[in-house]
Amino acid sequence: MKYSKAKTIELINSLPNWFHRIDLGYDIITPGVYNGLRILNNLDIPENCSGKRVLDLGTRDGFFAFELERRGAQVVAVDYVPKEKTGFHIASDILDSKVDYIHENIYNLSPSVIGTFDIVLFLGLLYHLPDPIRAINLVRSLSKDLMCLETQCIEKALLLPDGTFTDLASIHPILLEVPILQFYPNASLNNDPTNYWAPNLRALEAMLAECRFKVTKSIINGNRAIVNCKVIENLMLENLEKISSKTVRKE
């Protein structure tokens, strides 16, 4: 261990708010509210990731980044806030991690700057982004093989005008087969203004297919969806994405 147990506890306690629960040795786990193991166990990620390059988008305190580094991967972690504002810098120091942290908005990433990755983790982020198709297309440009996505979904959590939730099928069962996204205006979901959209599974699958991903496994767990995807080649869709990404200016 890099630090003594007492020093490890001191460093953890220097941050008032942890999000991830991270095992930092000595049977010490950071006091976060988010247990990433429940997500990790549903991702098609090999136990041995040696030789693989991994991108963790929206890394926050870094649970997934550090876990994949433990599995042997070379990991790049990205978040829109500086690492000093989260637990990432503390956990990274204690673990003596070599994960490369990039402070950047996802929409500003490009393969020409950070390259491409064997595994891309796109977890708990999509519903915070105002333009989901643009975001998925960008993630596709960074992906070489496996992409894992987790997001808010509406199968079991359609938000009603009175603030309560209901099953989408209770409105009508056919809605499970119709690609639908729900928009959350005025911080209506969890009083959080960064919550924008949540799809049903059919919409999520359709958006991913449109952006040249094939869903290989999907799970609905309450108000969350987890999907594992593989990249696919489709020249027509690739050309369409290139056209739509250009800014057309009329003189």
Question: Hey, where are the domains in the chain?
Answer: 5-245
Least confident of 95-99, 118-122, 239-243: 239-243
Per-residue pLDDT for 245 more than 80? no
Q: Is 185 helix (H, G, I), strand (E, B) or coil?
A: helix
Give the separation between CA 8 and CA 207, rounded to whole angstroms.
43
Residue 223 tokens, joined: 């108000």
Is residue 227 within a helix (H) or strand (E), and if so which, with residue range?
strand 224-231
Model pLDDT for residues 43-53, shown as the tens digit of each residue: 999 999 999 99
> In the prediction, which pLDDT does 238 show?
67
Contact between 233 and 212 under an 8 Å Cβ cutoff? The reply is: yes
Q: What is the pTM of this model?
A: 0.92
Per-residue pLDDT for 23 more than 50? yes
Find, among 123, 158, 134, 153, the residue nearest to 36 by Cα: 123
- Side-chain half-sphere exposure of 240, counting CA atoms within 13 A: 12
> In the prediction, which pLDDT does 1 show?
81
Pairing relationship of beta strands 143-152 and 117-123 according to DSSP bridges: parallel
**247 or 73, greater pLDDT:** 73
Model pLDDT for residues 140-191, shown as the tens digit of each residue: 999 999 999 999 999 999 999 999 999 999 999 999 999 999 999 999 999 9
Size (the chain), residues:
251
Percent helix / strand / coil, the chain, rounded to 5: 35, 25, 40
- Look up the CATH superfamily of 5-245: Vaccinia Virus protein VP39 (3.40.50.150)
| Residue owning tokens 């409105």 | 171
Give the separation between CA 135 and CA 131, rounded to whole angstroms.
6
Model pLDDT for residues 86-119, shown as the tens digit of each residue: 999 999 999 999 999 999 999 999 999 999 999 9
Q: Is 97 helix (H, G, I), strand (E, B) or coil?
A: coil
Computed over every residue of the chain, the mean pLDDT equals 94
| Residue owning tokens 């767990």 | 221
CA distance from start to end of the chain: 63
